[in-house]
Amino acid sequence: MKVGIVGAGMVGSSAGYALAVMGLASSVVLVDQNHDLAVAQAEDIAHAVPFLSSTIVEAADYVGLAGASVIILAAGVSQKPGESRLALLERNAAVFKDVVGNVLAVAPDAILLIASNPVDIMTQITQRISGLPANRVIGSGTILDTARFRSLLGRHLGISPQSVHAYVLGEHGDSEVLAWSNAKVGSLSLADIAAQVGSPITEHVRATIDDGVRNAAYKIIKGKGATYYGIGAGLARIIKAIAQDQHDVLTVSCVTPEIVGVKDVALSIPRVVGAQGIETDLMPDLVSAERDGLEKSARLLKDSVESIRL
Ligand code: ADP
């Protein structure tokens, strides 16, 4: 499978590296308006390949994306310390108008995988600009927030995150909702497993995990200026589900006809991902506070999208 990446900055190149490590793609093509950067990133990743896989990694112009099955859109301007994701909106919308047109001209059948923030809004903008079916325009959404939630819960319980089934829903951002009420470990409810392993989920534990998930990106940005390894691996994970037609349940973003009463909005819920892109949406059972939180998140995103003139 050929994978294209537009935007060879920290996120795009980390995704390229993760794809090479996982050996998922036969070819990875990096495109950036700064062509020298794309060439340098491709060379650097290509030098790692002999130790890892046989993926061909190269830089190209847009024409090099022809034949790609999936194209990651990671172009744009990155979040500055203290800057909200929504504040990035205007700047990145303009970049995407340019990028999506160029991509579609050479690869009209590719699945588009959006990584640029604010990701839910960029996903909805991309779907609008491209006119592609919504299930072929996928945002990385809360895939990373969900991974952080599972990892913190798993650490508290002394259980591998891979055995934790818990989801972060809604916006990839401040209004996201940690769905505590339906979190499971193995087949057990959280209360059950916590009692059995002797690690109760107290209010303090809950607040600490909630803060750890919600503020992880802000803390990393404060310390090193940007986040990229986690999302790079998350993007490769989504591509694995597509490349291997795995029908995995992942929290990704996509324009959805209706979520908790809000129509036509892109946000994350668990969705089945396979070769065709998003194949099915799965709406979890929520308690009323979570449902209200999700509705608030959906309305906030919808209002932001409606305020943009394209
Ligand atoms: P992040 O941390 O989100 O990856 P970066 O600033 O490191 O952010 O990377 C974003 C990349 O997007 C930069 O390399 C930049 O050159 C690229 N870029 C910005 N605008 C365009 C565009 N119109 N077309 C292609 N690439 C673009």
Q: Which residues are catalytic?
A: 172
The residue to mutate among 30, 78, 117, having the most atoms of ligand 1 within 8 angstroms of its beta carbon, is 78
Place of tokens 């200026």: 225
* pLDDT at 164 (0 to 100): 97
* pLDDT at 183 (0 to 100): 97
ipTM over 0.95: yes
Rounded-to-integer distance, Cα 204 and Cα 164, Å: 20
Q: Is the pLDDT of residue 231 over 80?
A: yes
Rounded-to-integer distance, Cα 262 and Cα 299, Å: 7
- Cβ contact 173:273 at 8 Å: no
Atom 7 in ligand 1: which residue has the minimum CA distance? 9
Atom 20 in ligand 1: which residue has the minimum CA distance? 76
Question: How do residues 244-294 score in pLDDT, each as one tens digit?
Answer: 999 999 999 999 999 999 999 999 999 999 999 999 999 999 999 999 999
Q: Is 98 in the pocket of ligand 1 (CB under 6 A)?
A: yes
CA 33 to centroid of ligand 1, rounded, Å: 7
The structure's pTM equals: 0.95
Q: Is 34 in the pocket of ligand 1 (CB under 6 A)?
A: yes
Place of tokens 């002394």: 158
Question: How do residues 76-116 score in pLDDT, each as one tens digit?
Answer: 876 778 876 567 787 888 899 999 999 999 999 999 999 99
- What is residue 232's three-state secondary structure? helix
